[in-house]
Amino acid sequence: MSGFRNLRLLILFGSLILATVYTVHQFIYSRAWNSPLQVVIYPINGDGTEHTQHYIDTLTNAHFNDIDQFMAREAKRYQLLLVHPTETRLGSQISQSPPKLPEDAGPFTSLIWGLKTRWWAYKVTPENDDGWDTVRMYVAYHSGQHVGALDHSLGLQKGLMGIVNAFALVSQSKQNNIVIAHELLHTVGATDKYNAALAPIYPEGYANPHRNPLYPQRSAEIMAGRIPTSKYASYMAHSLKSVIIGPKTAKEINWLKD
């Protein structure tokens, strides 16, 4: 019996080592920016309504052009040699929703959730054609009817994946792309730049922290997502046209050296 137990432990230990090595190589490769990062959008009908399904049925690659245009524009500002850092396309619809992260999740619960989520992602989108430069973004759309705020979206470095909650409304498409781009950058190392009240943190969460007068700001930093109008007020940017990648975020994603 002890021999069988030792074999199981050896297999588990070996699997963990392989997973760790794969994750490290994936993270390094995805941030090398030697070739465009492949981004695949997998839509999910988050509330099961006909309205949401109709919206998903109308989606095309063109709905996500803003993301690639934003990344290309910002890459040019930072003089990145790669002209098109991302290539975003629409993938197939996913019928199964991802595991939910409990609101009061501690470190252990979060770890278990992360493992379950990666296993879920493998089942619904096997990595047969994915390489170390492919980010899978699972976007759960909601009709926006009779609901309050959507669940928090997440971007995971381990596994290069994001889980985004978005509204199935044409009027919200541009802001949906801001959220997708935000979570996309999480997968390659960017950190949030807003506080517990969702207000941009000064100076790294401001698009132009040296502006005089400081307020109102004209753009949002992508990892803050909101445009400050005063020390205590801000609003979400309407589209990626009024969003930039700040210097700290550029360093985190390996676009800017110290």
Nearest CA to 190 out of 246, 113, 135, 106 is that of 246
**pLDDT range class, residue 94, cuts 50, 70, 90:** very high
Give CA separation, 228 vs 90, 125, 239, in Å. Answer: 33, 39, 15
Do 123 and 34 belong to one domain?
yes
Q: What is the mean pLDDT of residues 240-249?
A: 98
Mean pLDDT of 217-237: 97
- pLDDT score of 254 more than 70: yes
Give the model's pLDDT for residue 182.
Answer: 98
Q: Are residues 218 and 233 in the same domain?
A: yes
Tens digit of each residue's pLDDT (9 = 90 or more) over 63-91: 999 999 999 999 999 999 999 999 999 99
Say if residue 182 is in the same domain as residue 117. yes
pLDDT at 92: 95
d(CA 149, CA 152): 9
Q: Does residue 24 register a pLDDT over 80? A: no
Do 194 and 228 fall within a single domain?
Answer: yes
Q: Report the CATH number that the domain containing residue 11 is assigned in CATH.
A: 3.40.390
Do 171 and 228 fall into the same domain? Answer: no
Q: Give yes or no for a contact between 255 and 33, defined as CB atoms under 8 angstroms apart.
A: yes
First to last CA, the chain: 55
Here the tokens at position 128 are 């047969």
pLDDT, averaged across the chain? 87
Residue 130 has pLDDT above 60, yes or no: no
**C-alpha angle 168-174-176 in degrees, rounded to nearest 5:** 50
- 146-160 burial: b if 16+ Cβ within 10 Å, else e: eeeebeebbbbbbbb
pLDDT band at 227 (very low <50, low <70, confident <90, very high): very high
Would you state the pLDDT for residue 116? Answer: 87
Q: Are residues 68 and 176 in the same domain?
A: yes
Which of 157, 188, 219 lies at the terminal end of a domain, its last residue?
188
Q: Is the pLDDT of residue 9 over 60?
A: no
At residue 54, the pLDDT reads 97
Report how far apart, in Å, the C-alpha atoms of 84 and of each of 68, 120, 183, 245 are: 7, 30, 18, 15
pLDDT for residue 70: 98
pLDDT top residue among 148 and 165: 165
- Whether 114 and 214 share a structural domain: no
Same domain as 158, residue 39: yes
Return the pLDDT at 33: 94
**Which of 188, 216, 246 is the endpoint of a domain?**
188
Query: 148 Cβ partners below 8 Å, 6+ apart?
Result: none
pLDDT at 15 over 50: no
Residue 247 or 13, more confident: 247
Do 111 and 219 fall into the same domain? Answer: no
**Is residue 3's pLDDT more than 80?**
no
Residue 115's pLDDT is 83
pLDDT of residue 101: 80
Q: How many domains does the chain have?
A: 2
Domain extent at residue 116: 2-188
Residue 50 pLDDT greater than 60, yes or no: yes
Same domain, 72 and 180: yes
Note whether 15 and 143 are same-domain residues: yes
User: Could you say which DSSP state residue 194 is in?
Assistant: B
Residues 84 and 208 placed together within one structural domain of the fold: no
Q: What pLDDT score does 109 carry?
A: 82
Q: Pick the last residue of a domain from 170, 188, 206.
A: 188
Strand, helix or coil for residue 94: strand
* Nearby residues of 157 by Cβ (< 8 Å), 6 or more positions away: 23, 27, 186, 187, 188, 189
Sign of the C-alpha dihedral, residues 180, 184, 190, 196?
positive
pLDDT per position as a tens digit, 165-194 = 999 999 999 999 999 999 999 999 999 999
Q: Which residues of 198-217 are buried (b: 16+ CB within 10 A; e: fewer)?
A: ebbeeebbbbebeeeeeeeb
